[in-house]
């Protein structure tokens, strides 16, 4: 399952797939012809004697997934993950474009580092890596980075990753500067003075377990402040991995007001609740922490009504030394690449969302937020494609996933939705 296949570039006809392209609202059985790395044609009854023909046999063909929140591990923490291991896992997961967080060692606060990551992604031949630039130098929260230069080098947005941009003046400056060139600020929404030192959502469970807790209101307070700053500056903000009903309602109202506000969430926040940390299970220690089931249901409702624009893996690789510690001291974070598609599909199988909506959240949705050309299918576009069977069952098992990171909060979970093939610019890189 973790084989990264490099078959070279050849013409391919994928026949009889259910083709779903949410960007164009196309949903129907069709053939897709790939020539020279591009989608040459989409239609029925296509024939190409010189092309390799793949019978889809009822599988779904969609744009390659766009994952807008991934920690690479490299540079600086290669013991957790490397670009090569991320590329291998991404290909197996149907991901053809990922956006890298900037809190590496060193942080991505220099244009040369942005260009380096872009080049390293190209070198893999299987995944496009698009870097975020740091909002502040070193992601330290003290001095604004050179946002304009990072943008010119290729940064697709700006964030301090898992560190909240705390001082209101700093956020105001960032929004104002980025507005000058249409830049997007991505915020980790946890009010720092309320979340510092905490590791579980405040409530009965955290009290019983004796864990330092974070009130759910920490997320809403940060969102409320930043929405006010967007209103003040006219800037654009995106809230990452939203997880509470109160924050989502604030975002819903901001959108209704016409403000440039978007958000994503990650699979743990619509599939798990705080009970998953029972028995001090550190694989389920995440940032933000898992919430109550009422909050989880609010996240699902926001996937349905469109308040949430995208689902990201929030891939946070950690090794055994990071996690084999008492819960309060263990590092927060979960591996997410391999579980991104099947856990999102669980909402389709459960009847909450349609299959096209599930795919939209993983393709056109994140591409729209970031202004990318990826995440869509069309004649003449790059053949970045994912072929998967939505009903094929498998079991998530830590220790058996591609890539170095095995710290999944879904260990042992039976899921439906298996990737059968991944194409990057026409080259089959998995399956």
Which pair of structure tokens corresponds to residue 323?
A: 């996690």
Which pair of structure tokens corresponds to residue 329?
A: 């001291």
* Cβ 236 vs Cβ 185: under 8 Å: yes
Distance from C-alpha of 413 to C-alpha of 393, rounded to nearest angstrom: 11
Q: Cβ–Cβ contacts within 10 Å for residue 162, how many? A: 19
Of 160, 314, 384, 411, which is the active-site residue?
314
Distance from C-alpha of 411 to C-alpha of 224, rounded to nearest angstrom: 35
* Cβ 313 vs Cβ 337: under 8 Å: yes
Residues with Cβ within 8 Å of 397's Cβ and at least 6 positions away in sequence, in order, are: 411, 412
Counting Cα atoms < 13 Å in the Cβ hemisphere of 72 gives: 29
H, E, C per residue of 216-229: CHHHHHHHHHHHHH
DSSP string, 164-208: ----HHHHHHHHHHHHTTT-EEEE----HHHHTT--EETTHHHHH
Distance from C-alpha of 273 to C-alpha of 275, rounded to nearest angstrom: 5
Residues with Cβ within 8 Å of 329's Cβ and at least 6 positions away in sequence, in order, are: none
Q: Is 314 a catalytic site residue?
A: yes
Rg (C-alpha) for the chain, rounded Å, is 21
DSSP 131: E
Residues with a catalytic annotation lie at 314
């Amino acid at each position: 399952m973790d084989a990264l296949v490099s078959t070279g570039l050849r013409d391919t006809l994928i026949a009889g797939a259910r083709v779903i392209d949410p960007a164009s609202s196309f949903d129907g059985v069709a053939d897709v012809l790939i020539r020279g790395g591009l989608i040459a044609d989409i239609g029925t009854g296509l024939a190409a004697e010189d092309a390799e023909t793949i019978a889809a046999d009822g599988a779904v063909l969609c744009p390659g997934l766009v994952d807008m929140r991934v920690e690479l591990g490299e540079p600086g923490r290669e013991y957790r993950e490397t670009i090569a291991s991320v590329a291998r896992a991404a290909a197996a997961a149907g991901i053809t474009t990922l956006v890298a967080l900037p809190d590496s060692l060193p942080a991505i606060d220099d244009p040369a580092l942005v260009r380096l990551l872009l080049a390293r992604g190209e070198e893999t031949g299987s995944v496009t890596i698009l870097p975020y630039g740091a909002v502040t130098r070193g992601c330290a929260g003290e001095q604004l980075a050179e946002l304009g230069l990072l943008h010119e080098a290729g940064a697709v947005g700006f964030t301090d990753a898992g560190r909240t941009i705390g001082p209101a003046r700093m956020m105001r400056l960032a929004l104002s500067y980025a507005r000058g060139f249409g830049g997007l600020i991505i915020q980790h929404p946890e009010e720092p003075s309320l979340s510092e030192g905490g590791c579980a959502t405040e409530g009965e469970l955290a009290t019983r377990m004796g864990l330092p807790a974070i009130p759910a209101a920490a997320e809403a307070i940060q969102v409320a402040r930043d929405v006010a700053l967007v209103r003040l500056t006219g800037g654009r903000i995106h809230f990452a991995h939203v997880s509470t009903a109160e924050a989502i309602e604030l975002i819903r109202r901001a959108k209704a007001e016409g403000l440039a506000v978007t958000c994503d969430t990650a699979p743990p926040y619509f599939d798990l609740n705080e009970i998953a940390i029972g028995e001090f299970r550190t694989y389920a220690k995440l940032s933000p922490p898992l919430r109550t089931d009422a909050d989880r249901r609010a996240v699902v409702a926001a996937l349905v009504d469109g308040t949430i624009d995208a689902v990201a893996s929030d891939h946070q690789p950690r090794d055994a030394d990071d996690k084999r510690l008492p819960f309060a001291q263990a590092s927060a974070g979960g591996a997410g690449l391999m579980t991104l598609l099947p856990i999102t599909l669980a909402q389709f199988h459960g009847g909450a969302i349609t299959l096209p909506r599930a795919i939209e959240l993983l393709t056109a949705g994140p591409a729209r937020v970031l202004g990318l050309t990826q995440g869509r299918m069309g004649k003449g576009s790059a053949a970045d494609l994912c072929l998967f069977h939505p009903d094929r069952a498998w079991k998530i098992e830590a220790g058996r996933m591609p890539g170095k990171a095995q710290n999944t909060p879904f260990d042992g979970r039976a899921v439906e939705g298996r990737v059968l093939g991944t194409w990057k610019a026409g080259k089959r890189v998995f399956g």
